[in-house]
Structure 1
Amino acid sequence: MNSTKLKRQQTGRRLKFTNDDLWGYIFIAAAMIIFCVFTLYPVFSAIYTSFFNYKPFGSEFVGLKNYADTLKYSKFNLFYKAALNTLIYTVIVVPLSLLLSFSIAVMIMPFKKKTQSVFKAMYYLPGIASGVALSVVWLWLYDSSPDGIFNRLLGIFGIPAQNWLSSTKTSMLSLIIMALLSSHGVRIITYIAALLGIDNSYFEAAELDGATFFQKVRYIVWPLVKPTTLFLLVTGVIGSFQVFMNAYMMTGGGPDNSTTMIGLLIYNNAFVYGKYGLACAQAILLAIAIAIMSLFQFRLMGVDVEY
């Protein structure tokens, strides 16, 4: 009985509300209010609006019509074309970006810390630049005249100048090249952090066994950075499915909707055509698709991953 009473007294003292607890709840409340106002409310508002033919004054309830119109297959429905464009962009850009970032991180590792810092800064700086500013630079690189940078490079090999952003044959390729040659900074730094966490004893043992550089990368480095790869893969797919700035600034979705991504389609439906209900329905379907793909990636690659 005495031990039970003592435990109750100790529990009561632990649950006693103090001034420190008050400040903790205040800081948590501030974060929760920001989350509710800028994240939770817009999500529920979008779900609500997706069931209406939304107008600033006098919205009309249409039920699941916006979802049905989105999923109805016809040659005038751009949703499937935008989904295919987004899928092609994601399938090419995300794996190649991870491979490039991983390779660059591995090549940076043998250098001294100061030299590593220089390389990390060089690769990270484009990531903090404005997307509009980067798009302007790439528009200059993709200049369709013979004086354009890329067309000059093609001219060296005797290849005629290309209309990079104005042709259905090269417009998507142009966006893919732009994505692959920029914004590697975060992934490189993340991979370097993971590589620094690998114990040197693994490499020492491999060297004693006569392992080559590529064998070390294959059998030691790659398996041990798999959790990092999974994280970057999931976030990369999410970001790729939400891509908007590149298509909007570089091509506007053209030519002939060959670079219209789902994010750009949602933007056009909402702010160009005023179809807010349809845009919200498409945004909800996009969120569901991203959630399913993220879960699939965790199930596929996360079986033997330890955190």
Structure 2
Amino acid sequence: MSRALQRRENVSGYLFMLPSLIFFAGFVIIPMFICIFLSLTDANMHGSSMFGNFIGFANFVKLFSDKTFLRALWNTFLIVVVSVPTVCIFSLWVSSAIYKMHGAARSFFRIVFYLPVVTGSVAVTVVWKWMYDNYTGIFNYVLKGVGLIDKNINWLGDERFALWCIILILFTTSVGQPIVLYVSALGNVDQSLVEAAQVDGANNFQVFWKIKWPQIMPTTLYILVITTINSFQCFALIQLLTSGGSGTNTVMYYIYFTAFKLTEQAGHFGYANAMGVILALAIAALSALQFRLAKEK
């Protein structure tokens, strides 16, 4: 291929990519740098200047003495640590069972598990809120019916249960996509290697661990990263169910509350951006660790 033809193809490729690049730059790259800059200021939406005064790393120093932020950070990490492994393990287990079914049954169960993903988050949350209701909720009704509890439990108002209730909802709405991906990944496993291992006397666990697991590792890595990011960004459930109360405050909700509910006091908008930077660094660090561990496997 001549250089002129190669250059023309490169230009054509970039022109096709240009709309997406403009969108990515305008709504991801530029806002990211604005966020980093505002985190170094005392910006306030009610101030005379939207960029405020430069104060260096004062917001970051303040963050790690803010008990509310530290509690929100702990809650966020708890959600990630609990939900990510359980979503991956459960999705792999279910997809392994679904993959063995015939075409119609396999499609049916994929639809069933994927339905919460395409259903509006508000609609899903309203249903769960009714199920958790202190007086008419189905959980209290069933548990009292079987004699496990004597009186109704305030699931979303009691700090002992509220955060775990949020994690349960997040789990049920997060398994759909991984199940679909794992079913597809299992379908791409080289069956000749599986059959050869079985002929050599390998049991089901050995076949899975030595043959299937390495081949679905790229899918597993993708699921881990996406689930981690989604868990860190848990916001809608918190806002619609508890508004950060009952010990369910997360970093994402605290960012929203600080930026848009406390802006009558100076410095809160820049302070919220500092939280956003910390959250982005935490996501990036954990994702990098997952990539490193996956490469070692």
TM value normalised by structure 2: 0.90
Which letter does structure 1 place at the counterpart of 2:130? Answer: W
% identical equivalent positions = 33
Partner in structure 1 of residue 29 of structure 2: 40
User: Aligned partners of 1:103 and 1:16: how far apart in 2?
Assistant: 49
Q: CA deviation at 1:231?
A: 1.7
1:223 aligns with 2:225: no
1:150 aligns with 2:148: no
Q: Specify which of 59, 62, 75 is matched with residue 55 of structure 2.
A: 62
Mark the structure with the bigger radius of gyration: 1
Change (3 A) 1:301 1:132: same
Partner in structure 2 of residue 6 of structure 1: none
Secondary structure in 1 matching 2:127? helix
Q: CA deviation at 1:97?
A: 0.7
Q: Deviations over 1:107-140 (max 9, x none)?
A: 1011122221121112112101111111101001
Which letter does structure 2 place at the counterpart of 1:250? Answer: L
1:132 aligns with 2:125: no
1:235 aligns with 2:226: yes
Q: Specify which of 156, 172, 190 is matched with residue 199 of structure 1.
A: 190
Q: Indicate if the aligned counterparts of 1:140 and 1:148 stay in contact, CA closer than 8 A.
A: yes
User: Aligned partners of 2:10 and 2:56: how far apart in 1?
Assistant: 46
Q: Indicate if the aligned counterparts of 2:87 and 2:174 stay in contact, CA closer than 8 A.
A: no
Partner in structure 1 of residue 248 of structure 2: 259
Q: CA deviation at 1:180?
A: 2.1
Q: Indicate if the aligned counterparts of 2:221 and 2:294 stay in contact, CA closer than 8 A.
A: yes
Secondary structure in 2 matching 1:29? helix
Which letter does structure 1 place at the counterpart of 2:31? Answer: P
Change (3 A) 1:61 1:16: closer
Structure 1 stretches lacking a partner, 5+ long: 1-9
Partner in structure 1 of residue 173 of structure 2: 182
Q: CA deviation at 1:23?
A: 4.8
Q: Specify which of 270, 285, 292 is matched with residue 292 of structure 1.
A: 285
Change (3 A) 1:85 1:21: closer
1:93 aligns with 2:83: yes
Q: Specify which of 277, 281, 294 is matched with residue 270 of structure 2.
A: 277
Count how many residue pairs are aligned between Structure 1 and Structure 2: 287
Q: Which stretch shows the higher mean deviation, 49-58 or 215-224?
A: 215-224
Q: CA deviation at 1:28?
A: 2.1
Correspondence 1:72-91 to 2 at 5 A: 73=65, 77-91=67-81
CA RMSD for the aligned pairs?
Answer: 1.9
User: Aligned partners of 1:83 and 1:16: how far apart in 2?
Assistant: 49
Q: Indicate if the aligned counterparts of 2:69 and 2:251 stay in contact, CA closer than 8 A.
A: yes
Q: Which stretch shows the higher mean deviation, 108-117 or 200-209?
A: 200-209
Q: Deviations over 1:165-205 (max 9, x none)?
A: 00011101111111222332110111011100112123322
* Greater RCO, 1 or 2 (C-alpha within 8 Å, sep 6+): 2
Change (3 A) 1:157 1:286: same
Secondary structure in 1 matching 2:274? helix
User: Aligned partners of 2:161 and 2:252: how far apart in 1?
Assistant: 21
Q: Indicate if the aligned counterparts of 1:230 and 1:302 stay in contact, CA closer than 8 A.
A: no
